[in-house]
Amino acid sequence: MRTFFRNILIVLSYLTSIPFWTRLALKKPLVRVWCLHEVKDNQVWYFLEKLSWLKKNYNVLTPEQFKNRQFSTDRINVLLTFDDGYESWFRNVLSILNEENVKAVFFINNEFLSQSSKLTDAGHTLGGHSVSHERLTQLPADKLTAEVSQSVKSDFFAYPYGDKQSFNDAVIDEVKKAGYQYGFTILPGFNNLDTNPYLLHRDSLDPNVPNFIFKLWLKGNYDLWKKLF
């Protein structure tokens, strides 16, 4: 039911994307980050369809371009990220990314480390996602340090769960101390050159979300509502 109302709100907000058009008119770079998890066998087609659409309509960034802030100002930029660690990535994701010539960031827990060379061999970037996917804000200081500092070494870190309760100043300090340059949440929104690099927005959308919702969401029509509720 919640999803139903959410979708209605997104559609209703379609005509109110003034901030989006203003930014694009002012040639300020806009970056969305798509957060995916598993791509199940019955979701492959949906994933391919959305990725092809993104490639036609958005500027799909490599992790390297994201890091170096090589953003387009004519089109919305998008970076693909995958969280946690799934066997289905090897069946359903890597071949499609390869075909579409897209490079992504894979935020993996340490449990998935033994498989990680298959991702890096394909040219993708690993990101830290803590050792054991605990809610970092609820850990004692020494445990927090261990969960972050012993995570995958990378420029990129994604807070486990990613919601507002998944990070605070202490967590962000640890992430900085461990050498990460970027911290990703799952709070939806545009990232731009002013966005705090440790509070980056991501859009957590399953591959099979309806296409019109996907397009409206990435265009920021849901961002306003997310702030209201």
Of the two residues 29 and 162, which places its CB atom closer to Zn ion in the complex? 162
Least separation in angstroms between residue 79's CB and Zn ion is 17
- Helix ranges (H only) for the chain are 2-12, 18-25, 44-57, 63-67, 88, 94-99, 116-121, 141-149, 169-177, 211-218, 223-228
Residue number of the CB closest to Zn ion reads 83
Least separation in angstroms between residue 57's CB and Zn ion is 28
Least separation in angstroms between residue 16's CB and Zn ion is 32
Of the two residues 77 and 130, which places its CB atom closer to Zn ion in the complex? 130
Least separation in angstroms between residue 134's CB and Zn ion is 11
Of the two residues 29 and 127, which places its CB atom closer to Zn ion in the complex? 127
Q: Identify the three-state secondary structure at position 180.
A: coil
* Cβ 77 vs Cβ 69: under 8 Å: no
Of the two residues 75 and 135, which places its CB atom closer to Zn ion in the complex? 135
Please name the residues in contact with 124: beta carbons below 8 A apart, sequence gap of 6 or more: 63, 97, 103, 104, 105, 106
Please name the residues in contact with 200: beta carbons below 8 A apart, sequence gap of 6 or more: 33, 182, 183, 184, 185, 191
CB neighbour class for 199 (10 Å; exposed up to 12, middle 13-18, buried from 19): middle
Least separation in angstroms between residue 84's CB and Zn ion is 4
Of the two residues 76 and 79, which places its CB atom closer to Zn ion in the complex? 79
Which residues are near Zn ion by CB under 5 A? 83-84, 160
